[in-house]
Structure formats: structure tokens, C-alpha cells
Amino acid sequence: MMTAAEAVRIAAEEVGYLEKASNKDLDSKTGNPGSGSWTKFSRDLWEADPHFFQSNKNGIADWCSMFVAWCVYMASGRNSTRAQMALCYGGPYGASCTYAAGYYKEAGRFYANHPQPGDQIFFQRAGQIVHTGIVEKVDPDGVIHTIEGNSSNAVRRQAYGPEDTRIYGYGRPIYETEAVCPFTDLKEKSFYEQPVRELWAWGIVKGTTGTTFEPDRNITRAEVATLIWRAIKFIKED
């Protein structure tokens, strides 16, 4: 089951992984160290069926956001459709911290405080989102413990006070224990209510916004094609 605890456990197993200098020894924790932005996390997401992001990010982009996405992807059983749903991806599937935070905001799942284990934490500098990680635990006194990729070219544990001004906020993935359909405009007991909720849970329908489905709106040919494509992906991955 794709849970917050499983995502955190997977992240913890990767502590000590070093960024690679080149596209070599990607599965080794410490081999071929460097600052070339090559990692197994980016590779696995690109090789996912379908490709997790819209292009290959390995070796060309900072990988902190890809590390969090990889942890959720692995917790999903390598099911990219379910993982993208959990991360609130609406497309195009950008890999940057800014993209990731924006998806949570659109879905109404971005919070300024009160983090929970499994949340995606975002950091800022001069008002810009510059880094991200996954919340491992929160102490009773509010200290936030994280696991972060691309932390001095490695996966490392860090800790922050609750009032640390570097913290921008938290995105809360939709893990399977909390996969509640967010659409507020579904008519209760209508012929379409339950099918739409199930299709959303499977990642086949995304809605017109994070909280609306607009069931009375005419569907376009492009939208029909997209639904068929997602359904085929889901069947293949399941």
C-alpha cells in the first residue's frame, strides 16, 4: 500500500547516496561521486511507463524534487499513474520544485505549517522556491526532520526549527490511506458519482481544477483521447 510511512522508509534507505559525476554506477550508493546531476532516481523516473516527466532530466537538472517523486513512485509499486496522482500532478509533468509546489497548491494540498511525515517540504531563498525534501518526522517541540536529495550532492538527513524562515511550506501527497476524491460538484447518488470517484482514484480523470469536475460540461475530442490514453496506461501498469 502506498503510505506516507512507506515513502519515508524508502527515503531513509537512500541516505548516503552520492550524486554521480557521469552516467555510470548509478545504482552504487558511493561510486562515481561528483556534481554531474546523474542519479538512479532521475533514470528510473524517465524509464517509467509512461515517462514520469515530459523529458529526460538525468544529468541536466537539480534532482531534489526528483528524489521525492522517486520515493513516492517506489512506494506506489512503481506505478507512475498512481504516483503522479499522489503528487497531485496535473501536467505537464515538470520536475522542478516550483512545478511540484504549484501542483499541490492547485489541488488545495499546500500548507504553510503543521507538517506531517511523508509531506514534501519546500525551501525558499529571496522568495523563490529553491529546494525540496521529504519530512521524516516532527518532534514534540516542533523540530522538523527531513531527508533531502541534492543536499551537498547527496541524500542527507537535515533538521529545522518550526520557525525557520527558509521553509516555504509543505505539499501533502495523496497516499492511499487518504485518497478522498476532491470534486465538490458531483451530485450525490447521481449515475456518474461513483464511477467518477473511482476513475479519479485510478488517476484516469483529473478534473477541470483541483476541486471541480464540471459533470455537465461537454467533453472535447482531445479530452476523450486523453482519458483513453490514461486508461490504457493504468491497465498496463496494474
Count CB neighbours of 52 within 10 A: 23
- Who contacts 193 (Cβ-Cβ below 8 Å, separation ≥6)? 186, 187
Q: Residues for the chain: how many in total?
A: 238
Report the pLDDT value the prediction gives residue 100, as an integer from 0 to 100. 95
Q: Which residues of the chain carry a pLDDT beneath 70?
A: 177-180, 234-238
Query: What pLDDT does 145 receive?
Result: 98
The predicted structure's pLDDT at residue 178: 57
Model pLDDT, residue 211? 84
Task: Give the pLDDT score at 199.
Answer: 81
- Rounded Cα gap, residues 170 and 91, in angstroms: 20
So what's the pLDDT on residue 67? 98
Note the pLDDT of residue 231: 82
pLDDT of 118: 96
Given a contact cutoff of 8 angstroms between Cβ atoms, the answer to whether 167 and 160 are in contact is yes
Query: Is the torsion defined by CA of 85, 90, 93, 99 positive or negative?
Result: negative
Per residue in 177-205, pLDDT tens? 655 678 889 888 888 887 887 787 777 88
Residue 229 has what pLDDT?
Answer: 85
Q: What angle do helix axes 40-47 and 64-75 make, rounded to 10 degrees?
A: 60
Question: Which structural domains are found in the chain, ordered by start?
Answer: 4-176 (3.90.1720.10), 180-237 (no CATH)
